[in-house]
Each structure stands twice: as C-alpha cells, then as structure tokens.
C-alpha cells in the first residue's frame, strides 16, 4: 500500500462512484413525489397484474433454466460420451442469441399460420382451431420458455465449474458405499453445487426481470413494459420512477434472498488436481441419451434459430444490405467502442485506488460503482432521465435569464445521455475484469515500486497497466458486446431519428418482419459469440 497516496486519487474515485449511483438516488427521490393521477390509476387497475406477471415469469424462467442446465452441466462435467468436448463450450452459445429473436422464430414456427400447425391440420384433416388444441405461444408460459432457453447457460457455466471442482475422492467414496451414479448426483454432487446454482439462478432472475423485448413481443404485461408505457404513453416521469422503484425492489429482493439462504452455509472440500477428475464412461443407450439431450437442448436454444436467421438473411439480403444497415451498424460500433474505453478507464482508477490506498473507506467507491449492473435497462433509463431532464431545464432557464438563445435538450436529446447510461450500467463488468487481473499481481511489486520512488501515477502506468493487459482486454470486449446487445435503455433514451442494431432489429420484430432485419440480428449474434469463445479458452487454460 502507498501511505502517501494523493488525496486527488481518492477524490476522483468517490466522484466517479457518486456519478454512477446518481441515477439510483435520483430515481428513489423522484418516486417519493406525489403523482395520484397516473400512478393511482395504475395501482387501482393494472399494477397488481404487472407485479404478479413479473414474479410468475421470474419463477418459471428460473425453474426452466435449472431443468435445462443442471443435467447438461453434470453430464459434461462428470461423464464421458460422444460429443462431450464440443458440448462443453457449445452449450454457452445461446447467450449470444437475443431472446426476442428466438421468440419471433418460434412464434413463426408454432403460430396458427405457421408450418407446424399447418402440417398438423393437413395430416389430421382439421379444419378450424376448434377441432384441436394447441398451446398458445404468445403467453406468459411461452415467454418463460423462450427466456429459459436463452438464459440457462448462466446456470450451466457455474454448475459445470462447480461439478468439475468437486474432489474425485468423494466420488470414489460414494462408489465404495454402493451409490449409483444417480444417487451420487442427487445426494453428493447436487448439494455441493448449491452455492453455484443459487448464484446462477439469481443472475437468471435478474436478467428475466430486466427483459423488455420478449414480454413486449408476447404482449405479457410486466413491470418493464409498465415503465416503458408509463413514460411514453402517459409522459409521467414520477409514475415511471415509482414503478421502477418497485422493480428495483424485486431485483434486490432476489439478491438478498440468495445471500440470506446461504448465510450459514459453509463448504470445505479438496478440489480435484489436474488429471484427477473422475468420470463415468457412458456406453450404449446411456451415451446416446446423453448426446441426444445435449444436442436437442443446443439445437432448440441456438442452432435452429440461427439457421432460420441465415435463411431469412439469404432470402432478403438485397433488401437488408442497404444504407440503413451500415448507418446503424456504425452507430452501434462507435458508441460501443467509446463506452468500452470509458468503462475500462473507470475500472482502472477505482481498482487502483482500492489496491494501493491504506484507508478502508477507499474500498467503497468500487463497490458502489458495481451496483449499476444490477439495474434493469428500463429502470436505469428512468433514473438517468430524472437528473438530466432537470439539468436541461436549468441550462435553458439560465440561458433565458441572461438573454441568450435557449439551447434545447442538449443532454436528453442527444447521444450523450445514451453513452452515460451504458457507462453506468456496464462499468461493473470492467471493474470485475480488472479486479480479477489485479488479484494476480503480487503486492511485492507495489512495495518495490515505492522503494524505487515511483509516484502513484508512474506505478499505475509503468507497472500495473502492462500487467493488467488481459483484464483490460477482457473488460473492453465484454463491455463492447453488452453495449451492442442492450435494448431497453436504448429504446428509452435514444435521440429522435437515432437507431442502432438492437433497436433496428426490434422494430422489425415488433412489425412481424424480422426477415428484413435478420442480417442485423446475425451481426449481433456473431459479435456476441466472441466473448463466449474467449471465455471458454480462458476456462480451458485455467483447467
């Protein structure tokens, strides 16, 4: 630690942290303002439906994701079967697929006019919908299945890692005691993986609560759609802030419940050494079933939607390959690059102060700055609109007072507010990546730097940053991809006439014309595959 760390570094870290949490504070303060007209009407009519749908959707998505992920994670981690080496990384690919794109593809397949129902009617000579029953795709259950197919890799990744880290000696002991593979899984592996499953389920719950596009496409009223409709249809920022606060409470309640459930749980085990992993060798019908399960799951969650996207893009390539596609791709590119650089710079400053400062209070800014990622995009958008709208009004009032021309909405009417929202939401990703790299740097290097008379700035630029290259690159990459995919905040905060790839694709999905936006959707998916490949390579190197 550097005892003589300049106060300006500490002030800079607190300033950055306060700027990041400012929308959250503004949102809570705005929610206490009276607004009986709009919010009172919502509370008396549709608010209970919004809340119940949100909770039900989260519950079923988490259950579905657990059902999909746990068998796949255990098979890949503990069994030998054909295709295992491919499935261990391929089952991460659904994370790159936007949920609303998957929802459109399956709606097109299973709707009344889709090929599945047409084939059934032709096969059984059914004439009208009253002649047979077919589940409604556009429903809360349908939205839950779509989201579970896309989000289960969060649980799969953490569960696979937990299963692989379990000591092989425990498996040997279970066999000596006569436990079958099923009993070993149910009574040993699954309970020991509970912490990882809880964290994965919490991530899935938070992503589900934040989803806007899928529930909007399926016309399922949830808190996210309520926030969007309240702002755009009623124009009530206070009512939207109240709804956002309720949604924020739901998100933090899940995080708190997960930590409370594991407050007294302690797990001590010897991890498997390299080459010590214990596998069940599956043969015959068992091997076929394992391969079949993983392939069907991967096919439903990624392969089938991606192949259909390719067909759409090929058939409508001439219509899609136009000036709008290039313009919106450029918009996504430059905003994502700029936000990535800003977020990494924020992460470097905050983690540097946290590492070298002798004051425990200087650990607080990095923790405060990491709360932004827990905010759903719609909640963050309303939170950032509150102070920036007031600031715009203040600037115009000041210009009017001095007899100058009023500049208009220079903050909320430009891409500046969109960049700020992305930085607040995704700074936590860069902070986490750089923090992980800092753990690999020996504190003795800091002591040697102080002995050699380096200033804090010189230590950061000449010692730390060269050693943080991998963490900086990972942070840049992950933030870039998240910016490319972020939809709710972009929909609420984009300036008039501004589009990026995410909003461009969603407009086609909303208009039931994804065929024309399939090329843009493929770009989002392909870009999203990059961090997944990088993550898998990192995991393989660590293993």
Q: What is the pLDDT of residues 408-418, one digit of tens each?
A: 888 888 899 99
Least confident of 190-204, 215-229, 301-315, 479-493: 190-204
Count other C-beta atoms under 10 Å from residue 104's C-beta: 31
Task: Report the length, in residues, of the chain.
Answer: 543
Q: What is the reported pLDDT for 327?
A: 92
Nearest to 421 by CA among 15, 29, 25, 19: 19
Structure-model confidence comparison of residues 106 and 244, the more confident one: 106
45 found inside a domain: no
Could you give the CA distance from residue 91 to residue 114 in angstroms, rounded to a whole number? 27
397 found inside a domain: yes
Q: What is the reported pLDDT for 151?
A: 92
Average pLDDT, the chain: 83
CA distances from 269 to 163, 262, 300 (A): 12, 17, 36
CATH of the domain at 480: 1.10.3720.10
Decide: 279 and 83 in contact? Cβ < 8 Å: no
Place of tokens 């080496």: 85
Q: What is the reported pLDDT for 355?
A: 84
Summarize the confidence of residues 108-133 as an average pLDDT.
Answer: 84
pTM (2 decimals)?
Answer: 0.85
Provide the β-strand partners of residue 80: 281
pLDDT at 165 over 90: no
424 found inside a domain: yes
Q: What is the reported pLDDT for 176?
A: 58
Buried b (16+ CB within 10 A) or exposed e, 467-504: ebeebbebbbbbbbbbbbbbbbbbbbbbeeebbbbbbb
Summarize the confidence of residues 105-115 as an average pLDDT.
Answer: 87
Decide: 65 and 151 in contact? Cβ < 8 Å: yes
Could you give the CA distance from residue 249 to residue 223 in angstroms, rounded to a whole number? 11
% residues pLDDT > 90 (the chain)? 22
184 found inside a domain: no
Q: What is the reported pLDDT for 429?
A: 86
| Residue 36: pLDDT band with limits 50, 70, 90 | low
| Residue 522: pLDDT band with limits 50, 70, 90 | very high
Structure-model confidence comparison of residues 309 and 168, the more confident one: 309
| Residue 6: pLDDT band with limits 50, 70, 90 | low
**Which domain, by its residues, includes 389?**
316-543
Q: Dig out the tokens for 319 from the structure.
A: 């219509």
Q: What is the reported pLDDT for 262?
A: 58
Q: Dig out the tokens for 107 from the structure.
A: 């709606």
Could you give the CA distance from residue 527 to residue 533 in angstroms, rounded to a whole number? 11
Could you give the CA distance from residue 361 to residue 348 in angstroms, rounded to a whole number? 18
- SS3 readout for 480-533: HHHHHHCCHHHHHHCCCCCCCHHHHHHHHHHCCCHHHHHHHHHHHHHHHHHHHH
| Residue 178: pLDDT band with limits 50, 70, 90 | low
pLDDT in tens, 121-162: 888 888 877 878 888 888 999 999 999 999 999 899 888 888
221 found inside a domain: no
pLDDT at 231 over 90: no
Q: What DSSP element (H or E) covers 76?
A: helix 47-78
In total, how many domains does the chain have? 1
Q: What is the reported pLDDT for 274?
A: 47
528 found inside a domain: yes
Q: Dig out the tokens for 83 from the structure.
A: 């295709």
| Residue 182: pLDDT band with limits 50, 70, 90 | low
Q: What is the reported pLDDT for 3?
A: 46
46 found inside a domain: no
Decide: 240 and 382 in contact? Cβ < 8 Å: yes
510 found inside a domain: yes
pLDDT in tens, 338-373: 999 999 999 999 988 888 877 777 788 888 888 877
Could you give the CA distance from residue 211 to residue 512 in angstroms, rounded to a whole number? 19
Selection from 258-262, 472-476, 519-523 with the highest mean pLDDT: 519-523
| Residue 307: pLDDT band with limits 50, 70, 90 | very high
| Residue 209: pLDDT band with limits 50, 70, 90 | confident
CA distances from 36 to 225, 248, 412 (A): 20, 21, 26
Q: What is the reported pLDDT for 258?
A: 64
């Amino acid at each position: 630690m550097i005892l003589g760390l300049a106060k300006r570094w500490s002030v800079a870290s607190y300033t950055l942290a306060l700027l990041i949490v400012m929308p959250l504070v503004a949102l809570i303060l705005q929610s206490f303002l009276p607004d009986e007209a709009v919010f009172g009407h919502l509370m008396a009519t549709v608010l209970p439906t919004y809340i119940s749908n949100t909770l039900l959707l989260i519950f079923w998505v988490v259950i579905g994701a657990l059902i999909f992920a746990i068998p796949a994670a255990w098979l890949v981690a503990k069994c030998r079967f054909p295709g295992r080496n491919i499935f261990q990384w391929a089952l991460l690919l659904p994370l790159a697929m936007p949920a609303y794109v998957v929802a459109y593809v399956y709606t097109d397949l299973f709707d009344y006019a889709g090929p599945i129902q047409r084939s059934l009617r032709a096969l059984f000579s059914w004439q009208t919908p009253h002649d047979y029953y077919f589940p409604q795709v556009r429903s809360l259950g349908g939205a839950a299945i779509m989201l579970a197919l896309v989000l289960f890799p969060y649980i799969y990744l953490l569960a696979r890692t937990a299963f692989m880290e379990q000591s092989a000696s425990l498996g040997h002991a279970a066999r000596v005691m006569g436990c079958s593979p099923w009993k070993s899984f149910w009574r040993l592996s699954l309970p020991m993986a509970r912490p990882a499953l809880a964290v994965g389920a919490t991530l899935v719950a938070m992503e589900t609560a934040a989803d806007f596009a899928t529930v909007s496409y399926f016309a399922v009223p949830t808190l996210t759609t309520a926030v969007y409709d309240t702002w755009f249809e009623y124009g009530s920022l206070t009512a939207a802030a109240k709804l956002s606060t309720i949604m924020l409470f739901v998100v933090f309640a899940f995080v708190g419940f997960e930590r409370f459930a594991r407050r007294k749980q302690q797990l001590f085990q010897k991890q498997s050494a390299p080459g010590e992993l214990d596998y069940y060798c599956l043969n015959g019908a068992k091997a076929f079933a394992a391969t079949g399960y993983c392939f069907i799951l991967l096919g439903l969650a990624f392969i089938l939607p991606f192949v259909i996207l390719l067909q759409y893009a090929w058939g409508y390539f001439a219509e899609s390959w136009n000036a709008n596609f290039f313009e919106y791709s450029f918009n996504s590119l430059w905003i994502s690059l700029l936000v990535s650089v800003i977020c990494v710079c924020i992460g470097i400053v905050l983690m540097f102060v946290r590492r070298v400062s002798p004051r425990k209070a200087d650990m607080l800014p990095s923790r405060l700055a990491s709360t932004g990622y827990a905010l759903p995009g719609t909640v963050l958008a309303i939170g950032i609109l509150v102070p920036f709208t007031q600031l715009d009004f203040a600037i115009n009032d000041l210009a009017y007072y001095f007899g100058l021309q009023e500049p208009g909405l220079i903050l909320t009417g430009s891409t500046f507010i969109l960049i700020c929202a992305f930085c607040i939401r995704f700074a936590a990703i860069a902070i986490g990546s750089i923090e992980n790299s800092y753990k690999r740097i020996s504190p003795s290097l800091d002591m040697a730097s102080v002995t050699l008379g380096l200033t804090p700035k010189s230590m950061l630029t000449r010692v730390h940053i060269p050693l943080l290259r991998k963490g900086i690159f990972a942070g840049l990459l992950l933030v870039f991809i998240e910016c490319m995919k972020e939809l709710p905040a972009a929909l609420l905060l984009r300036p008039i006439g501004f589009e990026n790839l995410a909003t461009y694709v969603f407009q086609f999905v909303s208009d039931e014309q994804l065929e024309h936006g399939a090329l843009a959707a493929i770009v989002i998916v392909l870009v999203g595959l990059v961090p997944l490949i990088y993550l898998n390579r990192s995991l393989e190197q660590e293993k």
